[in-house]
Structure 1
Amino acid sequence: MLEVNANEVDGLYQLYLAKGLQVVFISATPPQEMPVGLECPTICLFSWGFDNLPDSSWGHDLQNDWRYVFNRIQGVICTSLQAYRSVHATSPSLPLVNVQPPVWSQFGNLCPELGREPNLEPRYFSFAGGLIDSCVLNPDPNGLGPAFEAELEGVAVPSELSRRVSRALGSRFAYAKSLTQDAWRKWVSAVHTRSPEPCDSLLGVIKLDTPINLQLTGVVYTAVLSPENPHNNWSEIISAFAWAFRDCAEATLVIKVTSIQLKFYHSKLLTLLSRLAPFKCRIVVLHGLMELDWYLELLQASTYHVNASSTEGLCLPLLEFMAAGCPALAPNHSAMADIIDEQLGFVLAGTKEPAPWPHRPYGAYFTYRHRLNWQSLVEAYRASFDFVTKRSSDYQCMSAAASQRIKLLGDEEFIERDLRMHLNRVLADSQVQRTEQ
């Protein structure tokens, strides 16, 4: 297997074909971005979270109509049954296969054969990076805008108007003015420097330069997400948790953020925590890359995995946590429909709502996503907490079932078999086409 650029493919194809070797090019890109018209047999590997496919072009680019692409390649590898059915409906003669990432070999050994026994005692995992911990932050609903006196020098309005506005609004205007001026200066600086603020200069963020052992206790819910993704409903995950366990100190929510920019969500997160306060449960946000060993420790310390997305094309963290024996709180739509049911976790409710294609400008609605039912997430939090604290043997059975489901989906032997059959068909079809030419 070689990793190459698209402009190198046909040259390498002719080179290895002359040596009597069979070659295929697998392009792990969305269909609208992949190369078409190559001599080398080409397979598109992509994930897709919607129940229909783009079937019209825009921006003078024919590849935005995926039917155009599928008519010019030799095969497709999907990562969900929903995507498989959508491609088959569009291009019924195109060779297709649906496979999940082979996570079982890496994470399946974290789950005992009979499933995990509930562990509510203190446990630890290693981490270095940016840390926001509600126990340290102690969010306060009155902490968003403390009243204080501030000078009004430098306001770009006539002086008499400044005095009138100041007398009318008092210190609130002064505080808003100081925030606005400060935000403006920081924005201008960021535009020119293009460098993010270090963690230790952001309010409420603890910067850990070297790994430390973080302690978790009680029932631990873990979500892995990017706040930059508009579909993952990260604020709903936090708000529902704080509401469900506002009087319970034995519940902890860990948010492992995969986003690069802490500043993208920092102010929104602190505002959200302040609005939700007071609450007794603990909310921990981790910002930074995790070593594999640290991640495995986090999986073992977690009781449940949480995914509240409105659409998923490939839910890798869900697969990893369930392989490790963590039942899930998740909807059963899009790619998650292949993974989650009532025997393996707590299914979140939702309803369809119109949505745009992720890559289409102007936001025209051509498809659907699934609006999360926030109350069902609150109820799932509470039900799952009671499940692990009052029905420990049932939790252990659910843990074992979750791990076994991922073994069936993500076992390397099964994936290798399906891929081999798919590649053989693509190569056979390509051989026939070359012979006919």
Structure 2
Amino acid sequence: MNFILYSDIGENTINKSLGLPEYSYYFVLKAFRTVLQELGTVTVVRHPETEVDPLFDACRARGEECVFLSFSPPNKTLIDLRCPTVSVFAWEYSNIPDELWDEDVRNDWRIVFGRHGRAITLSSYTARIVREAMGPGFPVLAVPAPLWEQFAEPRARFGSGLPPGQSRLQVRGTVIDSHVLGLSADGLIAHVVFPQAAEELDEAPPQLPPEPVPEPVAPPAPPVPAVPAKNLRYRLAVTKRHLLTWYREALRDLLPLWLARAVALGGRGGNTVARAVLGYESRTLPPLPPSAPQPARQQVTPVAAVAPTAAVAPEPQEPEVSVVLEGVVYTSILSPKDGRKNWFDMVTAFCWTFREVEDVTLVLKMNERDLSLYHNTLLTLLSQLAPFKCRVLTLHAYLDDATYEELIGATSFYVNTSLCEGLCLPLMEFMSCGRPVIAPRHTAMEDYIDEGAAFIIKSSLEHNVWPHDPRDLFRTLRYRLDWESICNGYAESYQIAKQQPEKYLAMGRHAIARMQSYSAGAVVKEQLREFFQQAAVEEQS
């Protein structure tokens, strides 16, 4: 059997695609590729419209079977190829799109499935709604991404033990720590002077004394003394700070890439105040020498120089920051622009539940390349919640495999507060390493979330729109979470982590067993084998 695989996001573009609606399809393809290689020959293509049919013709000439697996939504999967095509997709809403818009027939998924004749979904929830639209006899396979084997090493290291009381991570990027932000509920964000900022803001503007109130019969009060003049260094520092904020929020995304790079490189030495406000630690490692390798993710590919004789400047390294995690640690990995992730409820419930508790941390690993797209929203939300004693730590940083595994090991509970899910790979990955979770039991999570491994969040249905429908018409349903239930999940999990270690370990073991029976390579391979063998029999008959 020959398998041709395709995902819109590939190995060379994944670092530029974090946070995009379909970036996770790349990781799904990688997980399936290992299993499919045990069933036949695998070829990955980048341009299916020109590459797939020639490969299919070559296989047919050799008398071999061939199928094209497009890891993408049905509305982005080709329907006019000679090669048998199957869309491998995730879907988290109560029905599939069954209407036409923008003069594209693929927006009606029934047409796509009718042309393909079969489909592969990542959850039984999605398979069920496909059958509701296509009929009970339509061949659709529900199979998760086979990721169990990928986490064998970290599972062996810490999957059967309690999380450490303290862990240290070395990350390259920006860390926003609520403990050092100077959050103020009255002023929203207090302007805290960090050590770096003290060099430039060497004096604060003097405060005017209160104007005396004259007595009715007394002579006029003496004039208020003149305010001492602000020195030039202070005025320049304030001007630079406000210009930098204006540039990032109003202008940067409008500039050509080469000009934005030139501005960034030219102003690199003057961003001390901005880095302090955004939460960089005062002590960071010195920059790497020019010969050091660049990080694999979240880096912009260098472009050609503007002048023919000018050399291309190397992309500046993000600072390396040491992060210490202590106490009970909750972690969630999400795209802040994805409204389905519902991270506002996650943060507000956390800060409310643990407003008087110090030894608890919520780690938000944000899958987004541009910090400016969410940092003001995050800081405003935290300021509105202040004061609170718990800690919210946001990682806008590249995590290589080793650091990601260390984060799993440092975590006590993974948290998911999504309104709907197509699969949720991070949730499955943490469970595969023995970490209990707080999550709802709806959409794709119905397949693997149960009370043995999770504190289940209550939810109920609400109206919504198909996310890719530009008309924004209410045509489907998703889930609304019970906010109090999120708070209860935090409180109950904290109590078990602190006072019932045996129950915590039992939940971790149950999570491991659940993932082994659900996403092990052998389980997924057998499901795929039966699906393709049945398809071959139907084609021959």
Short-chain TM bin = 0.7 to 0.9
Distance 1:179 1:122 in 2: 38
Tell whether 2:374 aligns with 1:374.
no
Distance 1:381 1:120 in 2: 19
Tell whether 2:425 aligns with 1:316.
yes
Partner of 1:137: 181
Distance 1:119 1:263 in 2: 33
- 8 Å contact kept, 2:163–2:411: no
Residue 38 of structure 1: CA displacement? 1.7
Partner of 1:6: 48
Partner of 1:159: none
**1:72-91 C-alpha deviation (Å, 9 max, x unpaired):** 00321111110011112222
- 8 Å contact kept, 1:54–1:66: yes
Larger radius of gyration: 2
Summarize the Cα distance change of 1:391–1:48 in structure 2 as closer, same or farther, 3 Å threshold.
Answer: same
Tell me the SS of whatever aligns to 1:117. coil
Partner of 2:154: 110
Summarize the Cα distance change of 1:97–1:122 in structure 2 as closer, same or farther, 3 Å threshold.
Answer: same
Tell whether 2:255 aligns with 1:192.
yes
Tell whether 2:328 aligns with 1:287.
no
Distance 2:536 2:364 in 1: 44
**1:176-206 C-alpha deviation (Å, 9 max, x unpaired):** xx98996488413431246497897453232
Summarize the Cα distance change of 1:135–1:3 in structure 2 as closer, same or farther, 3 Å threshold.
Answer: same
The one-letter code matched in structure 1 to 2:328 is: V
Tell whether 2:86 aligns with 1:43.
yes
Tell me the SS of whatever aligns to 2:333. strand
Residue 117 of structure 1: CA displacement? 3.5
Partner of 1:435: none
The root-mean-square deviation of aligned C-alpha atoms, in Å, is 2.7
Residue 35 of structure 1: CA displacement? 0.4
Residue 327 of structure 1: CA displacement? 0.5
Partner of 1:225: 334
Q: Which of 280, 293, 305 does residue 206 from structure 1 map onto?
A: 280
Q: TM-score, normalised by structure 2?
A: 0.70
Summarize the Cα distance change of 1:60–1:326 in structure 2 as closer, same or farther, 3 Å threshold.
Answer: same
**1:305-355 C-alpha deviation (Å, 9 max, x unpaired):** 000000100200000000011111000001111121211110011221100
Size of the aligned set, in residue pairs, is 406
- 8 Å contact kept, 1:352–1:370: yes
Question: How do 1:11-410 and structure 2 match up within 5 A?
Answer: 11-91=54-134, 92-111=136-155, 116-119=160-163, 121-144=165-188, 183=246, 186-193=249-256, 195=260, 201=274, 203-206=277-280, 209=318, 211-410=320-519
Distance 2:461 2:495 in 1: 30
Distance 2:322 2:243 in 1: 39
Residue 55 of structure 1: CA displacement? 1.4
Residue 362 of structure 1: CA displacement? 2.4
Distance 1:102 1:65 in 2: 29
Q: Which shows bigger deviation, 32-41 or 196-205?
A: 196-205
- 8 Å contact kept, 2:354–2:389: yes
Distance 1:145 1:113 in 2: 41
Summarize the Cα distance change of 1:35–1:134 in structure 2 as closer, same or farther, 3 Å threshold.
Answer: same
Residue 296 of structure 1: CA displacement? 0.3
- 8 Å contact kept, 2:462–2:480: yes
The one-letter code matched in structure 2 to 1:259 is: E
Distance 1:102 1:211 in 2: 33
Q: Which shows bigger deviation, 232-241 or 395-404?
A: 232-241
Tell me the SS of whatever aligns to 2:341. coil
- 8 Å contact kept, 1:115–1:397: no
Distance 2:473 2:328 in 1: 42
Residue 116 of structure 1: CA displacement? 3.5
- 8 Å contact kept, 2:189–2:379: no
Distance 2:162 2:105 in 1: 54
The one-letter code matched in structure 1 to 2:105 is: L
Residue 123 of structure 1: CA displacement? 1.7
Distance 2:505 2:159 in 1: 5
Tell me the SS of whatever aligns to 2:254. helix
Summarize the Cα distance change of 1:56–1:186 in structure 2 as closer, same or farther, 3 Å threshold.
Answer: closer
Tell me the SS of whatever aligns to 1:351. strand
Q: Which has the higher contact order (CA 8 A, sep 6+)?
A: 1
Residue 121 of structure 1: CA displacement? 1.5
Summarize the Cα distance change of 1:97–1:113 in structure 2 as closer, same or farther, 3 Å threshold.
Answer: farther
Summarize the Cα distance change of 1:184–1:127 in structure 2 as closer, same or farther, 3 Å threshold.
Answer: closer
Summarize the Cα distance change of 1:96–1:135 in structure 2 as closer, same or farther, 3 Å threshold.
Answer: same
Residue 390 of structure 1: CA displacement? 1.2
Partner of 1:427: 536
Summarize the Cα distance change of 1:242–1:65 in structure 2 as closer, same or farther, 3 Å threshold.
Answer: same
Distance 2:251 2:165 in 1: 48
Residue 262 of structure 1: CA displacement? 0.9
Distance 1:368 1:422 in 2: 30
Summarize the Cα distance change of 1:126–1:179 in structure 2 as closer, same or farther, 3 Å threshold.
Answer: closer
Q: Which shows bigger deviation, 37-46 or 137-146?
A: 137-146
Distance 1:182 1:255 in 2: 24
- 8 Å contact kept, 1:258–1:289: no
Residue 360 of structure 1: CA displacement? 0.6
